[in-house]
Amino acid sequence: MMELLTMDGHGIYVWSAYILTTCVLLGLGIYPFIRLSRLKQRYQEDNELK
Amino acid sequence: MKFIPTWLHRLASPQHFFGDIKSWIMWLYVLGTIGFLVGSVWGLAFVPPERYQGDSFRILYVHAPIAHVAQLIYISIAVAGVVHLVWKLKMADVYMSAAAPVGCWLTALALASGMIWGMPTWGTAWVWDARIVSTLILLFLFFGLIVLRRVVPNPTRAATALSILAIVGAINIPIIKYSVEWFETLHQPASIELFGDIAIAPVFLTPLFINIASIYVLAAGFILANMRYLVVERNASMTWIQGWIRGQSQ
C-alpha cells in the first residue's frame, strides 16, 4: 500500500495530477446541474412576483 | 438535408433536445465515470513502472486523454461554427457556447498535469516549448470564445463572431499536433498515430485507451448538460419551458 502511495518518490506528482483531474471532472459534471437548478428557482420566483 | 438521421434532426429542435437529452446525460456520466475509474486504477496499480520514467509516467493516463479530447472539442466547435454560418442552426450556436468552457477547463488541466509531469521528468514545470506554447494558445482561444459570447450584446452577431474565431483558430490544432516534429522540443513525439505505428508497449496501452474513451464520453455528457442549461436560458418565454418551471415536465 505504501509503495502505491509513494511510487518511489513520484507519488506526490502522480497523485496530485490524478486528484486535480478528478476535481476538475467533478466540477464540470456537477456545475451545469447546480446552474440549472438556480435558474429554475429564479424563474419560479419571477413567476410568483408577476 | 435528407442524409441526417431522424433522431439527430429531432435533437436540432431545442424543445425536443430539452426533453430527450436528460437520460442521455445520465448514461454518459455513469459510463464515463466507470470507465475513468477502471482505466485509472488499472494505470495506477496494475501496470509496471516505465523503464526510463519510473512511476511518473502514470500521469500519461490522465494527461494524454485530457489533452487529446480538449483539441477534439476545439475542432468540433469550429465545425459547429461552419454549420452555424452555413445553415444558421440555433443548436450549433448553443453547442459552441456549451463546449467552450469544457474545452477551456480540459486544456487548463492538460497544461497543469503536463507541468506536474515535467517536474520529475524534465526537472522543470515549464519551458517555452512549441507544443506547450501552442497548447497555451489553445487555452487563450477557448477564453476568447467564452469572453466573446459575453461581450457582444447582440446574440446573432455574437454567434457569428464566435463561429469566425473558432474557424480561424482551428489553424492552431495542426500546429499543436506537428509542433513536436517541426520544432526542437522537450516534449516527446506522438506515440500513437491513427494510421501509423504505436510506439507504446501493449502492456501500457489498455488503460490508456479506456481513459481516452472515458474522457470522450464524460466530455460529451458535460457539453450536453451545459447545452441543456443554455436551452432553458435562451427559451425562457416558451410554453414548454414555462411548463418545466411549474413542474409539469422533467
B113 touches chain A (CB under 8 A): yes
Mean pLDDT of B152-163: 94
Count of CB pairs separated by less than 8 Å, A with B: 88
pLDDT greater than 70 at residue B2? no
- For residues B85 and B164, give the distance between their C-alpha atoms in angstroms, rounded to a whole number: 9
Does position B186 have pLDDT exceeding 80, yes or no?
A: no
Percent of chain B residues topping a pLDDT of 70 = 96
Report the pLDDT averaged over residues B19-43. Answer: 95
* Residue among B225, B138, B145 at smallest CA distance from B173: B138
Burial of residue B229, with CB atoms counted within 10 A of its CB: 0-12 exposed, 13-18 middle, 19 or more buried: buried
Would you tell me how many other CB atoms lie within 10 Å of the CB of residue B127?
15
Average pLDDT for B173-190 = 84
Contacts of residue B179, defined as CB under 8 A and 6 or more positions apart, other chains included, come to: B130, B131, B134, B185, B187
Q: Which residues pair with B170 in a beta bridge?
A: none
A1-50 tens-digit pLDDT: 888 888 989 999 999 999 999 999 999 999 999 999 999 999 988 888 76
Query: Cα separation of B221 and A17, whole Å?
Result: 22
Q: Given this model, what pLDDT does residue B250 score?
A: 58
More confident residue, A28 or B88: A28
Return the CA Rg of chain B. Answer: 20
Predicted pLDDT of residue A33: 96
Are the beta carbons of A8 and B55 separated by less than 8 Å? yes
Residue B242 has what pLDDT? Answer: 87
- CB-based contact, B132 to chain A, within 8 Å: no
The ipTM, to two decimals, is 0.94
Between CA B220 and CA B102 the distance in angstroms is 9
Say how many residues make up chain A. 50
Lowest mean pLDDT among B82-96, B129-143, B183-197: B183-197
Q: Give the Cα separation of A11 and B130 in Å (integer).
A: 28
pLDDT in the model for residue B194: 66
Q: Is A2 on the interface with B (CB under 8 A)?
A: no
Secondary structure of residue B108 in the 3-state scheme: helix
Lowest mean pLDDT among A6-20, B8-22, B38-52: B8-22
Checking if the pLDDT of B58 tops 60, the result is yes
* pLDDT value at residue B195: 67
Q: Answer whether A29 sits within 8 Å of B218, measured CB to CB.
A: yes
Q: Does residue B169 register a pLDDT over 80?
A: yes
Cell triple for residue A32? 451545469
| Residue B123 pLDDT | 92
Q: Does residue B244 have a pLDDT over 90? A: no
Residue B97 grid coordinates? 457556447
Taking the domains of chain A in order of start, what are their residue ranges? 2-49
- Per CB-CB distance under 8 Å, the chain B contacts of A43 are 236, 241, 245
Of A14, A20, A47, the CB nearest to B112: A20
Q: Which residue has the higher pLDDT, B209 or B237?
A: B209
Asked if the C-beta of A28 comes within 8 angstroms of chain B's C-beta atoms, the answer is yes
To the nearest whole number, what is the mean pLDDT of chain B? Answer: 91
Using the Cβ of B102 and the Cβ atoms of chain A, whether some distance falls under 8 Å is answered with yes
Task: Give me the mean pLDDT over the B132-156 stretch.
Answer: 95
- The predicted pLDDT at position B70 comes to 98
8 Å CB contact between A16 and B116: yes
Q: Helix A11-49 crosses helix B14-45 at what angle (to 10 degrees)?
A: 160
